[in-house]
Amino acid sequence: MDILLIFLLLAALAFWWFSAQSRETAIHFARDACKRCGVQLLDETVSMSKMRLRRSDRGHMGIARWYTFEFSASGQDRRSGSVNLLGNQLLDMHLDVDVTELPH
């Protein structure tokens, strides 16, 4: 019984650690995308919106996480963006912005 409890505790700690690493990776991708587009990442953070098991292109099972964030092109507006990760690998990213509205 003690071994099962220790295993569950270690599994929970590993899940928490990998989730924290994934969140930091999502923040990095969001910050980088905002910098390249010349917009400001608001609150310097992301929020996980969805998580599920998914297979990679190589067939390996992993945890896919979808994060959302907000950014501003003018300082007066709030726009949304999203980052989709499988583990720490970027699968997809979207910023809700019209390229004609971006600062030059």
Q: How many CB atoms lie within 10 A of CB 31?
A: 16
Domain membership of residue 57 (yes or no) is yes
Question: Can you give the CATH number for the domain in which 89 is found?
Answer: 3.10.450
Domain membership of residue 79 (yes or no) is yes
99 confidence band (pLDDT: 50, 70, 90): low
Domain membership of residue 14 (yes or no) is no
- Please answer whether residues 20 and 85 qualify as being in contact, where contact means their C-beta atoms are separated by less than 8 angstroms: no
Count up the domains in the chain and report the number: 1
Domain housing 30: 21-101
Q: Does residue 31 sit in helix, strand or coil?
A: helix
Q: Model-level pTM?
A: 0.84
* Residue 96, phi then psi, degrees to nearest 5: -80, 80
Question: 16-45, pLDDT tens digit by residue?
Answer: 999 999 999 999 999 999 999 899 999 999
Domain membership of residue 69 (yes or no) is yes
Domain membership of residue 1 (yes or no) is no
